[in-house]
Structure 1
């Protein structure tokens, strides 16, 4: 089944591992550029982003962008030097504040701006960054980042960005660190050729025709905080249809934009979006962005979780490009991209990691959301079959959590090892309604916030009433899979955990002669008297563990 494992690792959407994560799998060899990107250094620490107004002109024939980003920020400390990020070959051409041009020192993808005077703590200021250039072209989006410049079947431009791993600074200047989202959202003004449409995040506020330029400018408004990599432009010969969903917070606008040639297929396939919303509001709580609406937008690549503007390129069919990633058949019951990418609205967009080393918060929970979608519509056994089937993708080659402070993601196991960790925790809680309350509670407690893994771990442990610290440590910070080692001799069961961290002490459900029995193994041998003298023992399949009978059963 190696081909399936390879398919899963490559195929799972948003698997945008950075090049350095692959070059330095053990966290070695990081550069100053990695530190500048991944750390809140002194030039970033003294100010907090409140709003971006991003104005960009897109010139398809030249694959060229030019524009400005006016950033509103609040002063939280004392300093005169600011770091802003923009990746080559894009150029930061000018920085202006209060009508005066500021000096800029360029250091690779980081740009250091010297302000004219100290700014008053607690006050808000504006600064405008002018930029232009030909951004990196994505070769295999969404796995490598950049812009995609393609054409539809009628020869019209079909353009989109996808930049989760490489970062939003690949095409526009900003504070490119996940810990600082614009508190009051973003305004996007995107100028495109007259015969095309731009679809971006939030709500469409205005469409302005520019006769002299033969272009149109679309203005989109996002009211909520938004992670930078979730900000997008999607440009094509789009047509639009919509529906209203009566959800937990009232009426939610659900809008769909697809190429003209795909309208009929989309009207059928996008019914999964409504099913997604029903299932995920049940499990996770209200959709987090009612003010900005929900959109599903066709793009020339597989898809991405752009906030309130989820992108789609799955060929209008179920599964992942027609394949079942679990090998069980259940993966063909839904459109993988609609379900997975939309699940990110709760985990990635509502709850965002402070450091990309904790990207499992995005990907583990969202891979697990596929399982919960099946649970809601097809039942618990179907959902278990699916998530267990995805275990074939897990490599256990390096920890799920990456290296902090250097923009380093963890292992690709963050997807389905993360999902199986959460599925295992559900078994430990052993109360489905309590588990649902925990998932909903996460989205309520950390609503529109950036978080650390420890915050998530502590919340789950506290509300489960179980010390899950050794469980998280084992599955997120170690590559070994626990082995339940046991023997049965003369009616006595001897058992312990092996292949684990020293403190590992996860309870385990086993089946003895067809009856469920809960054990509390540690790394030390324990015993339990059984009857009959030679019973059969099976480990409950829903726990992500291995078993070994030391007597060679």
Structure 2
């Protein structure tokens, strides 16, 4: 039991900072369905959120409202709005009248009077209050973080991916729907600053000991990306091309931050080239120092890597390459393209966030230090792969696949690049993907079909095996006289995938199937046969 607990701790610490569900449960409850399914009560499209919330550090209490502007997609007699059951519903106002509601688990069912018609654009005000769940180990569990900086000032933040944004404010808590814009107004004690997503709109002294800080987002944004960051921040800025770079850090870390954050412009050079322009230029780019390690909060990336190289000074690949750069800056900014701009409609498809973002680490390495180092890094992170469950979770119940979506997902993408066998085509396809689905909510199928269409090789069985089965395809090789035979063993029927092997020092591409094939060339007792492991991630049994 002690070994198992240690193994779980290793898995948690080796997972890049991101989602908090990672359950891959076999059985589900009504609460899971209420959160994860698109029920008739959710037949509306959110157009805008206007949050007006007061945060009281001493009592860890929040109160305020969310004005939700929406368009109905069907007749809507009852509307589901999500808010964790420990939070108080103070009132729900529509056209000046209080609406009746019922609650089940973390869902609030609002009886609309009069009943809403299809294609109706309207809004309501949802007033609420309470003590939100406090995270015990953010960002790996969801909640508020109430802490203090080294000078004793309140330092507060929130991280709720997977757990749900409805932990702290009422919303339609499903990844398939994002507001087109958001106004985030947070009132905090005088002397503190709040930094949220988007552009700073101004501040107002409320004459009651609190100051309201207003931020406006002009792009679609995931619910879990809407955040508060409250502290005694100091601000400095920079610019990359037409993109504003803003940094909010604790005053005593200012000089360290100015030096460390120079890496942002080097990173942007790489990501602009490989992925296209920053997807949220209208909202600018921010790094905000947080009391937890980090999170990909859109246009306000949470940074808590303590101004170290690597992942809190360690290298997740074990190669030393990960100590050349700041993991949180690179990984969490990669999510701006993969996860924030391109978003999975269902949390079951979160691999399209995490695989591509983990792969962006290798992309950055390749930009700076070359392909050989990038391949070594990708091979190194395989030690964190468990191959214990599929990368895709269960749809409609707020369930992710396994944490292998990070490292196995990145190595799947590297394997597909190797299958392409044409780097020019690979980079073109990757950039086309990010630009085609910019600000779009998509499915795994969309991603699979896009990369499949770019090559003559049929990638459907490859995606099927790597995404929907825990085991790797296994290349089996055996001697038969002075010849070699080879085939695939896989869960997917009629599995086929080209693979590069090295025979006596020379690389050769094989096209195995489920049936034994004979290698035409003769072999000797000293013949050396290897898989090109740097470019292909697979199982192998040989002679």
Q: For this structure pair, what is the TM-score category when the shorter chain's length is used for normalisation? A: over 0.9
TM-score by length of 1: 0.95
What is the CA deviation profile of residues 384-412 of structure 1, one whole-angstrom value per residue up to 9, with x for unaligned ones? 00011000000011111111100001101
Answer yes or no: is 1:546 the counterpart of 2:522: no
Instruction: Quote the Cα distance in structure 2 between the aligned partners of 1:11 and 1:155.
Output: 31
Answer yes or no: is 1:202 the counterpart of 2:205: no
For residues 478-493 of structure 1, what are the structure 2 equivalents within 5 Å? 478-493=469-484
Of residues 226, 231, 238, the one that matches 1:236 is 231
Instruction: Quote the Cα distance in structure 2 between the aligned partners of 1:358 and 1:192.
Output: 37
- Structure 1 contact 38–177 (Cα < 8 Å) conserved: yes
- Structure 2 contact 354–405 (Cα < 8 Å) conserved: yes
Q: Which residue of 2 aligns with 1:186?
A: 182
For residues 122-201 of structure 1, what are the structure 2 equivalents within 5 Å? 122-183=119-180, 185-201=181-197
What is the CA deviation profile of residues 136-190 of structure 1, one whole-angstrom value per residue up to 9, with x for unaligned ones? 000000000000000011110000000002010000000000000112x100011
What is the CA deviation profile of residues 458-493 of structure 1, one whole-angstrom value per residue up to 9, with x for unaligned ones? 011012333111111111111111221112344422
Deviation at 1:98, TM superposition (A): 0.8
Instruction: Quote the Cα distance in structure 1 between the aligned partners of 2:281 and 2:461.
Output: 37
- Structure 1 contact 461–469 (Cα < 8 Å) conserved: yes
Q: Which residue of 1 aligns with 2:71?
A: 74
Aligned CA distance change for structure 1 residues 95 and 5 (closer, same or farther; 3 Å): closer
Instruction: Quote the Cα distance in structure 2 between the aligned partners of 1:157 and 1:300.
Output: 10
For residues 146-545 of structure 1, what are the structure 2 equivalents within 5 Å? 146-183=143-180, 185-210=181-206, 212-246=207-241, 251-531=242-522, 533-534=524-525, 535-541=527-533, 542-545=535-538
Answer yes or no: is 1:12 the counterpart of 2:15: yes
- Structure 1 contact 137–147 (Cα < 8 Å) conserved: yes
Deviation at 1:422, TM superposition (A): 0.5
Cα RMSD (Å): 1.6
Runs of 5+ consecutive residues of structure 1 not aligned to the other structure: none
Of residues 31, 35, 38, the one that matches 1:37 is 35
Instruction: Quote the Cα distance in structure 1 between the aligned partners of 2:149 and 2:541.
Output: 55
Instruction: Quote the Cα distance in structure 1 between the aligned partners of 2:29 and 2:409.
Output: 29
What is the CA deviation profile of residues 328-363 of structure 1, one whole-angstrom value per residue up to 9, with x for unaligned ones? 000001100000000000000000010101111111
TM-score by length of 2: 0.96
- Structure 2 contact 16–406 (Cα < 8 Å) conserved: no
Q: What secondary structure sits across from 2:541 in the alignment?
A: strand
Q: What secondary structure sits across from 1:440 in the alignment?
A: helix
Deviation at 1:5, TM superposition (A): 9.1
- Structure 1 contact 201–307 (Cα < 8 Å) conserved: yes
Aligned CA distance change for structure 1 residues 469 and 281 (closer, same or farther; 3 Å): same
Runs of 5+ consecutive residues of structure 2 not aligned to the other structure: none
For residues 49-68 of structure 1, what are the structure 2 equivalents within 5 Å? 49-68=46-65
Q: What secondary structure sits across from 1:244 in the alignment?
A: strand
Q: Which shows bigger deviation, 527-536 or 161-170?
A: 527-536
What is the CA deviation profile of residues 258-294 of structure 1, one whole-angstrom value per residue up to 9, with x for unaligned ones? 0111101111111121122111111111110000000
Instruction: Quote the Cα distance in structure 2 between the aligned partners of 1:360 and 1:92.
Output: 35
- Structure 1 contact 17–409 (Cα < 8 Å) conserved: no
What is the CA deviation profile of residues 398-449 of structure 1, one whole-angstrom value per residue up to 9, with x for unaligned ones? 1111111000011010100101100100100111121111111111111111
Instruction: Quote the Cα distance in structure 2 between the aligned partners of 1:476 and 1:509.
Output: 21
Q: What secondary structure sits across from 2:195 in the alignment?
A: strand
- Structure 2 contact 198–216 (Cα < 8 Å) conserved: yes
Instruction: Quote the Cα distance in structure 2 between the aligned partners of 1:423 and 1:299.
Output: 32
- Structure 2 contact 341–439 (Cα < 8 Å) conserved: yes
Instruction: Quote the Cα distance in structure 2 between the aligned partners of 1:290 and 1:15.
Output: 23
Equivalent pairs, count: 538
- Structure 1 contact 91–132 (Cα < 8 Å) conserved: yes
